Amino acid sequence: MLINVESSKSLEDIRKTLEEKAKEKGFGVMAVHEVNNILENKGFPIDYTLVIYEVCMPRAASEVLKKNPYISTALPCRISIIQDGNRYILSTIKPTYMIDLYKEPELKGVAEEVENLIKEIMEACS
């Protein structure tokens, strides 16, 4: 259900690589949520760094949304960067898992393409 990639790089290096590789692979970064900072500012701190990137591949998004607008509830794709001691784990829900929820088997190919590209982006950060 999840793709997890471990990295010993610094958070700054991971973020830089993720943004560069996403662009190279045809994805745009739509938003970045520094969750640990947001929660701390609201008075509910957590004791680790958590950054969530929302990424989108416009061609793929258009293809799946033309078929089923309810797939919008799973978009954009998210890549979490989770601090685990002295390392970081990049994690995302597999697009192939998500697409199965919508019972659109003809979209399995586009989900596989997006999944492979996101995995490549994440692995470049390891």
Residues of the chain with pLDDT under 50: none
pLDDT value of residue 106: 96
| Domain interval for residue 6 | 2-124
Q: pLDDT digits over 37-57, tens only?
A: 999 999 999 999 999 999 999
pLDDT value of residue 52: 98
Say how far apart CA 105 and CA 30 lie, in whole Å: 27
pLDDT value of residue 102: 96
The 3-state DSSP class for residue 114 equals: helix
CATH number for the domain harbouring residue 79 = 3.30.310.70
Q: Tell me how many domains the chain contains.
A: 1
**Backbone dihedral region of 7: left (phi > 0), alpha (psi from -120 to 50 degrees) or beta?**
beta
pLDDT value of residue 15: 98
pLDDT value of residue 94: 98
pLDDT value of residue 21: 98
Say how far apart CA 117 and CA 22 lie, in whole Å: 8
pLDDT value of residue 120: 98
Q: Taking the model in full, what pTM does it have?
A: 0.96
